[in-house]
Amino acid sequence: MKGNLENKQVAIIGGGPGGLTLARLLQLKGVDVKVYERDLNRDVRVQGATLDLHFESGLKVMGAADLMDAFKANYRPGADKGRIVDEHAKIIYDEHDKESNENFGDEKFRPEIDRGPLRNMLLNSLQPDTVVWDSQFKSMVQIGDKWKLEFKNGNTTTADIVIGADGANSKIRPFITSIKPFYSGVTIIQGNVPNSETAAPNIHQLLKGGKIYVYDGEKFLHVSSKGDGSLDFYVSCKKDEHWVQNSGINFSDKTQVFTWFREEFSKWDTVWFELVENVNLPLLLRPQYCMPLDQTWNTVPNLTILGDAAHPMPPSGEGVNLAMLDSLELSECLTDPGYKDIQTAIATYEKQMLIRAANEARDSLEMTEWMHSEGAVARLVEMFN
């Protein structure tokens, strides 16, 4: 049932999990939809760290999108098991020692999947040519009741409805609101080590196919194994908003990266140096921003946003899950014939989305604070228990 989308062309900007999920859900209802993605093709970019899907959001959406069997074929059993480790590589808490009978259908079960396989699974579920690659958004203008979109490759298209799923640096959001995100006080430095078994053997053994969490009151280190034999890590630390530009460090230069890491972690065991000895460069540098918790805007009749485009926030483990839940609720509103028009459907979606995002952002900011404070280890152990 197409509802208010009967005979309408929908354009989704951004081919991440939120955009692809929305396209899948709309196609199940028979809606005409295209996804415009800036990547040159589906294989051009290595996807980031693993993520877990949650019962009330990501897994719920997998069911609604008729993709649960595909998810079960691609998720990584055991990859959700973590170890809390101190800076000297001593294990403080080990989930590998705990018996777990949780499985699909249990509210606490949070199965892990690599981002690459998740993206491929979503892409494979779409009709041929749904995704238009090499389509980096440049601008758009309203012509009558439609939007005319222009991309950096020179191509143009028109759509009745545009949905921004283009991440924290969304180019669609300014067409809806002038509200700017604020800096959270934390910057993340992220890297990937291929073939970790030989490139970082001690860390690989410590990982045991799962995750590592390390806190020292100022910094937080997260390491996760991936199904391709590599490991991803990110360092989260309190820095000035413009630290990346002002640091003078070239994060594409191996010598400078190693010097920075050795100084930043001078009080930690040298085993952690394995992370940068064979890391792929450049490292990813990601200052973390958050939208004001009270943000709101006047609904546009044929334009909206979802996921990080609508509510960027520091990582809390909910990012992809929130984007997928946004996609589900937006698809349901847009295809519900009970709404008198598209603007009313979008307004209903945005109201509940903004409330949910504000609650999660509040939790995320609180988590960011305690993760970089004394007592973080004790609090995490309490959470695990």
Residue list for the binding site for NADPH: 45
Q: Which residue has the tokens 């699909």?
A: 104
Annotated binding site for FAD: 52, 115, 308
Task: Give the span between the Cα atoms of 345 and 64, in whole angstroms.
Answer: 19
Task: Give the span between the Cα atoms of 120 and 74, in whole angstroms.
Answer: 10
Nearest to 33 by CA among 70, 2, 58: 2
Nearest to 339 by CA among 328, 347, 350: 347
Task: Give the span between the Cα atoms of 171 and 139, in whole angstroms.
Answer: 8
SS3 annotation, the chain: CCHHHCCCEEEEECCCHHHHHHHHHHHHCCCEEEEECCCCCCCCCCCCCCEECCCCCHHHHHHHCCCHHHHHHHCCCCCCCEEEECCCCCEEEEHHHCCCCCCCCCCCCCCEECHHHHHHHHHHCCCCCCEECCCCEEEEEEECCEEEEEECCCCEEEECEEEECCCCCCCCHHHCCCCCCEEEEEEEEEEEECCHHHHCHHHHHHHCCCEEEEECCCEEEEEEECCCCCEEEEEEEECCCCHHHHCCCCCCCHHHHHHHHHHHCCCCCHHHHHHHHCCCCCCEEEEEEECCCCCCCCCECCEEECHHHCCCCCCCCCHHHHHHHHHHHHHHHHCCCCCCCHHHHHHHHHHHHHHHHHHHHHHHHHHHHHHCCCCHHHHHHHHHC
Annotated binding site: 45, 52, 115, 308
Task: Give the span between the Cα atoms of 349 and 332, in whole angstroms.
Answer: 9
**168 to 181, 285, 306: CA distances (angstroms):** 9, 14, 10
Give the chain's length. Answer: 385
